[in-house]
């Protein structure tokens, strides 16, 4: 499966680097196609695959306007009710012929019945070429299930506006974006494509990062994104971002997505998705710059800073163990 | 309510100033969200707020690509059947932190029933913090009501002298579309992708076909499309379509593309591309329908009709010789 | 080479059939990628492939919203300065697994130098797997060359009788834009967002202003916009703009919006909205420039000029009374 797309000016920031959100959207589109096709491959009830979670994703090298993106997707594990898809993204400069790996991503989908989108169907089992694949997949499945439950629990708090905040504080850079869900954001069955949500999440994270360090910034990685609930047509969604942690050369931004069924009064606002984005600051020449140190003020901010530091150190340790992961 | 949006290359003209129209669109989106939410806030019939009027709006300072637009909206008055919303737009340069007020706008909305969009519902009254607010709002309401009536009265005249052509003539269905070439229409080297031009050509041909037969129509084939000359960034292109020929079940439409270098005074308007599109008319069930016979009036129209008939008969003969080409 | 794309509501007409133009655009994107890559495959001057001609293309079976389009492209012939690409498009229903051939197309590209887009470069020769392929390709090449020359010859005529209006007259700059209302223009309840209409109105006003003064122009203000009636899905809207008045440094353009329910025969064309836009002309440095004086010709144009002058003087007086309104 190989979608190709030429990157256009609107896909990129002012320095010509394609937004991480555009790449996440392409990844999700490829994942949705392959998993919907797979879930309909036995003659059961017709269904559509809905995005449930994206594992941590690194942006290994920047993609630029005019390059061609190659996206390939493969089903790597199936549980009774979910599908794991691995997606690779390459960028190709068609003038020089140079190709580079820009992303590897792992996504989890759940098949929803077309007749009743609240009903989860069974997934046809995938055939593994090696026996270990099933066992490795099962471990990844159990790990993500556990991780999902943890995020669900911590979703209560929201981003609140503060007046005239000091530079380098959390309040100074925090940002919210409101989006009215329109027909072209949605699947045929009336809920928002996961890729559309991820693109908006990256957009808010980018605004937070740019406000904090006032330079050209790019997405370096996205921590697992959990989709707690479907967003339906006719909702207004609020995407809020706040900085949680800075290291010398990176910024971590928490992004929360809340859906608000404006017209239907009977349903309450609910948390639809959440994730942590990591951004780096770049000089004109594309080298990474030091980042101003974040100043947490409240007790909650200090707690989140420490949690962010924990994730940062854990990831650093992991990378030092696997030096080939960042070519 | 504070939506944020980063301004993209397509939002701006060649000098990097954001189009007033893009700002008006953001303003209206904010107004529609807040007034739809307000009108559904009591437990009555579900409704959607439709825009009825925008008061005079000044563009106080230009907004540029890369800036972040902040839009805030507030309900300032409600009459029995309408809502007044005031919207403020600020532009923020997130690198320097500079913020500027770019617009203040006042919009009027009317709630339409979701069950029957021709029915206007009642508006829940807004609570005023000062008593004068209601009185001032009432005055604005009366003033706009009067102004609306005046415009309605003077709407008779139209821009182009429409000669009320007879149905089924060439003049009746002929159509032109103007398109201002934007960054995402173009290659990195500043000329329009051929595919963008073809999409617009098909759009015009489709409008001509729909006007002629007033049914659902689809493209059946496109005769050779020739690109005589490149179209550069900053051009206005005019895509014109006219019906040339009808058979029992098909319509042939000639489409011409002319480029007009609006800003560059030294260059003249030139023909950039041309083609013939063939459309068929479909019933609700997707079966092809008979097409009203085209009535050519002028000598030129009669000549083009005969030429179109020639192409039609030639193609029919070719197909009968090669029955495998249409599976 | 196999791009995949899910067809969205915006790609299709009201009956759910994907527009031929959307398919043509995908075909061209695939052709441009493969031929640009091929023309840069030897170590010569860098170039970009520009579309020169598309051969006759049949739409063999309709594609629908929700289906996945597969596009594959192959270089089938090269002459000294041109490349022939053949593209196949398949539609796949990912729910049922059904695949259908929807298009076979042949496109001709010409490599243009990146340093000088008016210079055509040489094409690296393609390697043929069978010797007859070169001979057959040469025949197609000669045939299209001949056909191209014939079309060039008949390009004199244009659709609308252009009366060669004098510069600075109303007729010289007046412009109309036709827009087919698509799903993403609309609310969930099937009528056009007011913001979409306003964006198109500003676009037409901008084209009129640019044609009049041939410089960079920006919106300065919009007089009250009245929405007389809803515009429904499936309408064609015509947005017409004409200059009504010029002061030393500003231009007033009247914009009228008419809706035409193309498919629904029972309803007549009606006036949906109207407004006056004021534009100013800017130098490269962003300073406001003098505007060429409008020359009204007919009695109506003279009357409208006086009315515009009235609005201009009234606004000027208002502003001098409230100097704080433009900070």
Q: Give the pLDDT of residue B163.
A: 53
* A8 contacts in chain B (CB < 8 Å): 183-184
Q: Give the pLDDT of residue B322.
A: 64
Residue B117, Cβ density class (10 Å: 0-12 exposed, 13-18 middle, ≥19 buried): middle
Least confident of A224-233, A248-257, B134-143, B295-304: A224-233
Q: Active-site residue among A202, A216, A223, A258?
A: A202
What SS3 state is found at A41? coil
Q: Which of B56, B201, B244, B326 to mutate to test the interface with C (most CBs of C within 10 A)?
A: B56
Of C24, C58, C300, the CB nearest to B202: C24
* C10 contacts in chain A (CB < 8 Å): 183-184
Tens of pLDDT, residues C251-299: 999 999 999 887 666 677 888 999 999 999 988 777 889 999 999 999 9
Dist CA A27 CA A69 (whole Å): 10
Confidence check: pLDDT of C89 > 90: yes
Q: Give the pLDDT of residue C279.
A: 93
Mean pLDDT (chain B) is 85
Task: Give this complex's ipTM.
Answer: 0.80
Dist CA B75 CA B35 (whole Å): 7
Dist CA A24 CA A8 (whole Å): 16
Q: How confident is the model at residue A78 (pLDDT cuts 50, 70, 90)?
A: very high
Q: Give the pLDDT of residue A322.
A: 65
Contact in structure between C149 and C143 (CB atoms under 8 Å): no
Of C198, C221, C326, the CB nearest to B21: C198
Query: B126 CA to chain C: closest CA distance, Å?
Result: 23
Mean pLDDT calculated for residue range B68-90: 93
Dist CA B234 CA B183 (whole Å): 9
Query: C101 CA to chain B: closest CA distance, Å?
Result: 9
Q: What is the 3-state secondary structure (H, E, C) of C103-170?
A: EEEEEEEEEEECCCCCCECCCCCCCCCCHHHHHHHHHHHHHHHHHHHHHHHCCCCCCCCCCCCCCCEH
Mean pLDDT calculated for residue range C35-46: 88
Of C3, C6, C184, the CB nearest to A182: C184
Which residue from B minimizes the CA distance to C244? B159
Q: Give the pLDDT of residue B164.
A: 67
Q: How confident is the model at residue A158 (pLDDT cuts 50, 70, 90)?
A: low
Q: Active-site residue among A13, A93, A155, A168?
A: A13
Q: Which span out of A68-82, A230-244, C186-200 was modeled with the highest average pLDDT?
A: A68-82
Tens of pLDDT, residues A124-156: 999 998 989 999 999 999 998 888 877 654 544
Contact in structure between A229 and A272 (CB atoms under 8 Å): yes
Q: Give the pLDDT of residue A159.
A: 55
Q: How confident is the model at residue C181 (pLDDT cuts 50, 70, 90)?
A: confident
Q: Give the pLDDT of residue B166.
A: 86
Q: How large a percentage of chain B has pLDDT more than 70?
A: 90
DSSP state, A163? S
Chains that touch C (3 or more CB pairs under 8 A): A, B
Q: Give the pLDDT of residue B326.
A: 42
Query: C129 CA to chain B: closest CA distance, Å?
Result: 24
Q: What is the 3-state secondary structure (H, E, C) of chain B?
A: CCCEEECCHHHECCCCEECHHHHHHHHHHHHHHHHHHHHCCCCCCCEEEEEEEECCEECCCCCECCCEEEEEEEEEEECCCCEEEEEEEEEECCCCCCEEEEEEEEEEEEEEECCCCCCECCCCCCCCCCHHHHHHHHHHHHHHHHHHHHHHHCCCCCCCCCCCCCCCEHHHHCEEEEEECCHHHECCCCEECHHHHHHHHHHHHHHHHHHHHCCEEEEEEECCEEECCCCECCCEEEEEEEEEEECCCCEEEEEEEEEECCCCCCCCCEEEEEEEEEEEEECCCCCECCCCCCECCCHHHHHHHHHHHHHHHHHHHHHHHCHHHCC
Dist CA A255 CA A174 (whole Å): 10
Query: A10 CA to chain B: closest CA distance, Å?
Result: 6
Contact in structure between B253 and B175 (CB atoms under 8 Å): no
Q: How confident is the model at residue A201 (pLDDT cuts 50, 70, 90)?
A: very high
Query: B131 CA to chain C: closest CA distance, Å?
Result: 25
Dist CA C254 CA C244 (whole Å): 6
Q: Give the pLDDT of residue B1.
A: 39
Q: Which of B14, B19, B21, B299 to mutate to test the interface with C (most CBs of C within 10 A)?
A: B21
Question: For strand C83-92 and strand C68-78, is the pairing parallel, antiparallel, or unpaired?
Answer: antiparallel
Which residue from B minimizes the CA distance to C226? B53
Domains of chain B (ranges; CATH) run 4-143 (3.10.129.10), 170-321 (3.10.129.10)
User: Do residue A40 and residue C184 have CB atoms under 8 angstroms apart?
Assistant: no
Dist CA A40 CA A51 (whole Å): 16
Q: Give the pLDDT of residue B109.
A: 94
User: Do residue B1 and residue A178 have CB atoms under 8 angstroms apart?
Assistant: yes
Dist CA A301 CA A101 (whole Å): 36
Confidence check: pLDDT of B114 > 70: yes
- Whether A155 is catalytic: no
Tens of pLDDT, residues B202-219: 989 998 998 898 888 889
Cβ count within 10 A of residue A271: 17
Which residues of chain C are at the A interface, by a Cβ-Cβ cutoff of 8 Å? 1-6, 8-10, 29-30, 32-33, 36-37, 40-41, 46-48, 65-66, 68, 94-97, 114, 183-184, 186, 188
Contact in structure between C210 and B263 (CB atoms under 8 Å): yes
C120-to-A296, B126, C51 alpha-carbon distances in Å: 59, 67, 12
Of A3, A6, A97, the CB nearest to C4: A3
Q: How confident is the model at residue C322 (pLDDT cuts 50, 70, 90)?
A: low
Query: Which residues of C are annotated as catalytic?
Result: 13, 202
Least confident of A266-270, B147-151, B225-229: B147-151
Dist CA B123 CA B121 (whole Å): 7
Closest CA to A191 of A26, A83, A48: A48
Q: Give the pLDDT of residue B162.
A: 46
Confidence check: pLDDT of A326 > 50: no
Mean pLDDT (chain A) is 86
Q: How large a percentage of chain C has pLDDT more than 70?
A: 91
- CB burial readout A104-135, b (16+ within 10 A) else e: ebbbbbbbbbbeebeebbebbebeeeeeeeee
Q: Which span out of B165-169, C117-121, C122-126, C322-326 was modeled with the highest average pLDDT?
A: C122-126
* B225 contacts in chain C (CB < 8 Å): 53-54
Dist CA A223 CA A235 (whole Å): 26
Site of tokens 């997505």? A257
Dist CA A142 CA A144 (whole Å): 6
Of C176, C179, C193, the CB nearest to B28: C193
Dist CA C266 CA C234 (whole Å): 14
Which residue from A minimizes the CA distance to B94? A211
Query: To which H or E segment does residue C72 belong?
Result: strand C68-78
User: Higher confidence at residue A75 or residue A61?
Assistant: A75
Q: Give the pLDDT of residue A95.
A: 84
Query: To which H or E segment does residue C38 belong?
Result: helix C20-39
Confidence check: pLDDT of A260 > 60: yes
What SS3 state is found at A114? coil
Cβ count within 10 A of residue A45: 15
Q: Give the pLDDT of residue B180.
A: 80
Q: Which span out of A105-119, A217-231, B85-99, C77-91 was modeled with the highest average pLDDT?
A: C77-91
A50-to-A77, B199, C145, C188 alpha-carbon distances in Å: 16, 31, 50, 21
DSSP state, C9? G
DSSP state, A192? B
Q: Give the pLDDT of residue A85.
A: 96
Confidence check: pLDDT of A111 > 90: yes
Tens of pLDDT, residues C95-154: 888 899 999 999 999 999 988 878 999 999 999 989 899 999 999 999 988 887 776 544
Q: How large a percentage of chain C has pLDDT more than 90?
A: 40
């Amino acid at each position: 499966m190989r979608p190709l797309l030429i990157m256009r000016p609107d896909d990129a920031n002012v320095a010509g680097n394609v937004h991480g959100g555009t790449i996440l959207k392409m990844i999700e589109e490829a994942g949705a196609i392959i998993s919907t096709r797979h879930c309909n491959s036995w003659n059961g009830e017709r269904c559509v695959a809905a995005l449930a979670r994206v594992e941590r994703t690194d942006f290994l090298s920047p993609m630029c306007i005019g390059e061609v993106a190659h996206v390939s997707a493969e089903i790597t594990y199936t549980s009774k009710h979910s599908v794991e898809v691995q997606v690779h993204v390459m960028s190709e400069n068609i003038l020089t012929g140079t190709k580079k790996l820009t992303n590897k991503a792992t996504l989890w989908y759940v098949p929803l019945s077309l007749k009743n989108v609240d009903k989860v169907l069974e997934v046809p089992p995938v055939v593994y070429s090696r026996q270990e694949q099933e066992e490795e997949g099962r471990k990844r499945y159990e790990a993500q299930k556990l991780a999902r439950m943890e995020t669900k629990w911590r979703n209560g708090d929201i981003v609140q506006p503060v007046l005239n905040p000091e530079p380098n504080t959390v309040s100074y850079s925090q940002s919210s974006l409101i989006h009215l869900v329109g027909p072209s954001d949605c699947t045929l069955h009336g809920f928002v494509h996961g890729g559309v949500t991820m693109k908006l999440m990256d957009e808010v994270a980018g605004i937070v990062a740019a406000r904090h360090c006032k330079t050209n910034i790019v997405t370096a990685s996205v921590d697992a994104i959990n989709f707690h609930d479907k967003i339906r047509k006719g909702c207004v969604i609020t995407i809020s971002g706040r900085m949680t942690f800075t290291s010398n050369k990176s910024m971590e931004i928490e992004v929360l997505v809340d859906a608000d069924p404006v017209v239907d009064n009977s349903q309450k606002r609910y948390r639809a998705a959440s994730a942590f984005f990591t951004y780096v600051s770049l000089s004109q020449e594309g080298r990474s710059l030091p980042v101003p140190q974040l100043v947490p003020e409240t007790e909650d901010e200090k707690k989140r800073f420490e949690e962010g530091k924990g994730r940062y150190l854990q990831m650093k340790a992991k990378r030092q163990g696997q030096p080939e992961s960042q070519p």
